[in-house]
Amino acid sequence: MVRVRLFANFREAINQKEVEIEATTVKELLINLVNKFDNLRPLIFENGDLRDYVHIMVNGKHINHLKGMETELSKEDVVAIFPPVSGGC
């Protein structure tokens, strides 16, 4: 099981800040996650593709700097899923 930390609207959608999901890749993790929590599906995917604004980090590294959706996972990994982040003065 991989530990998944959810933030902002993702956390609110399932009323949990952390879950454990069985997966060997980020893609498999996301599919298993939305299958378990169907109300996350429209927040994470659009027409079967990862929404542009979803940020995913594995052990503090963005998946864009790893192998993207094919990034391999092990049971010690922590995956963080963030919505769009904005801020300012």
The reported pLDDT for the residue numbered 62 is 96
What are the sequence ranges of the domains in the chain? 2-82
Q: Compute the mean pLDDT over every residue in the chain, rounded to the nearest whole number.
A: 94
pLDDT of 59 over the 70 cut: yes
Q: What is the mean pLDDT of residues 62-76?
A: 97
Per-residue confidence band for 14, with pLDDT thresholds at 50, 70 and 90: very high
Which of 60, 64, 58, 56 lies closest to 77 in space, CA to CA?
A: 58
Q: What is the mean pLDDT of residues 14-36?
A: 97
Q: Are 46 and 30 in contact (CB under 8 A)?
A: no
**5's tokens:** 């930390």
Architecture of domain 2-82: Roll (3.10)
The contacts of residue 83 (CB under 8 Å, 6+ apart) are 7, 8, 9, 10, 43, 53, 54, 55
**46's tokens:** 């659009």
**pTM for the full model?**
0.91
